[in-house]
Amino acid sequence: MYSEKVMDHFMNPRNVGEIEKAQAVGEVGNAKCGDIMKMYLQIENDVIVDVKFKTFGCGSAIATSSMATEMIKGKTVKEALQLTNKAVAEALDGLPPVKMHCSVLAEQAVKAAIYNYAKENNVHYEELEGFVPDEDHDHHDHEEEE
């Protein structure tokens, strides 16, 4: 079902935990749907110097959280905003179709954290235009079938 990379990131997730004095914190998903992802970013000079996550969710949710943190660590905030769920999924050697939406959560969590950071620090990122942090991601309940 899952690629070896997914299983590796699930069993040995990178960057699990919290950052106490994180500049940016974002949470998406909701427990009702069985998934919550929380991201903590430590940002210095517009660079993400550290990142941690906590996730309540399926294997794919945990693996994509882990991979997403790896992918944005050391990047500028602007670069991090380029992160797409597709890129995360590809970095994990793909996800089963029913699990693609979990990778959306990871993208959203990063954006939500930066959104909060931007708001607090009064910065504007055009990449965030149209982003609504509390929007129900409604990623579930799609049929596999046409």
Partner 1 sequence: MNRRVYFDYSATTPMKKEVLEEMLPFFNTDFGNPSSIHSYGRQGKTALDIARDKVAKTLNAKSEEIFFTGGGSEADNWAIKGAAFASRSKGNHIITTKIEHHAVLHTCEYLEKEGFEVTYLDVDQYGLIDMDDLKNAIKENTILITIMYANNEIGTIQPIKEIAHLAKEKNIIFHTDAVQAYGNEIIDVHELGVDLLSISAHKVYGPKGVGALYIRKGLRIHPLIHGGAQEKRRRAGTENIPGIVGFGKAAELAYENMEGHINKMETMRNRLIKEIMETIPYTKLNGHPTKRLPGNVNISFEFIEGESLLLSLDMVGIAASSGSACTSGSLDPSHVLMAIGLSHEIAHGSLRLTVGDFNTEEDVDYVIEKLPPIVDRLRQMSPLYEK
The binding site for ligand FES (CB under 6 A) comprises 34-35, 57-58, 60-61, 99, 102
38 binds partner 1 (CB under 8 A): yes
In whole angstroms, what is the distance from residue 81 CA to residue 84 CA? 8
Active site residue 58: no
112 binds partner 1 (CB under 8 A): no
Catalytic residue among 102, 104, 105, 113: 102
10 binds partner 1 (CB under 8 A): yes
124 binds partner 1 (CB under 8 A): no
Catalytic residue among 33, 58, 91, 100: 33
3-state SS, residue 39: strand
Site for partner 1 in 46-65 (CB under 8 A): 54-59, 61-62
Angle of the 59-72 helix axis to the 100-121 helix axis, nearest 10: 50
Q: What is the 3-state secondary structure (H, E, C) of 51-76?
A: EEEEEECCHHHHHHHHHHHHHHCCCE
In whole angstroms, what is the distance from residue 68 CA to residue 45 CA? 20
Active site residue 102: yes
Structure token digits, residue 57: 């969710």
CB of 107 to partner 1, least distance (A): 17
